[in-house]
Amino acid sequence: MSTISLERITIEPQTKVTACVIWLHGLGDSGAGFAPVVPALGLPQDHSIRFIFPHAPEQAVTINQGYIMRAWYDIKSMDLHNRADMQGVLESEVSVKALIQEQIDSGIPADRIVLAGFSQGGVMSLFTGLRYPEKLAGIMALSCYLPTADKLPENLSVANLSTSILQHHGEQDDVVPVSSGKMANELLNDAGYKAEWKTYQMPHSVLPEQLHDIAKWLSSVLL
């Protein structure tokens, strides 16, 4: 499986880098869609976190009449149990793992790296993080689901069993039903993971109030 080196937007801190957040966007978006959250998080000015917002490759998406758009994998149907093209998920996992490895090679240990994502990007952060062979600082999965629907992915790594997992979802989400996020949360907690769950009065989006909670969580796992 060949690795595509992902183009990305990188936002460096004002001080020496000691940690990294890799934040994956949703279907049809790009890294530019989430880059503005960095100042909005209101982290301390002297924080030492590098933020990386990669762009997914462009591909045809079945549920969008085959239109070419940025996507981490094809979405074949609206049915949660048959939604994610697993071959595409596995290919994107390779690219995301390569991004993590780049950061490790630059001197940031895995346990100082947070894997984050929204919607499709959240699916990828959850899937990749659960299977990643080294302990990460945290996994953030916003408005998303498990690509394996009602079961946990195969080949889970014990390395991240005690890693902090943050799951947020909108109660009015008409793109990814809140029940699918809750199902993922229950599967994780039943398996002994530390998965925090919170819902917000919002559709398939991100709220300022939520960014405050994200900043608090990021501070707890990285600062």
Catalytic residue among 55, 204, 213, 219: 204
Catalytic residue among 29, 74, 85, 173: 173
| Residue 173 annotated in active site | yes
| Residue 213 annotated in active site | no
Separation CA 75–CA 43 (nearest Å)? 35
| Residue 105 annotated in active site | no
Which CA distances in Å does 90 have to 58, 109, 112, 161?
Answer: 16, 23, 24, 21
Contact 169, 178 (CB under 8 A): yes
Alpha helices in the chain (DSSP H): 37-40, 86-105, 120-131, 178-190, 208-222
DSSP 118: E
Catalytic residue among 48, 119, 143, 180: 119
Separation CA 59–CA 199 (nearest Å)? 31
How many CB atoms neighbour CB 205 within 10 A? 16
Positions marked catalytic: 119, 173, 204
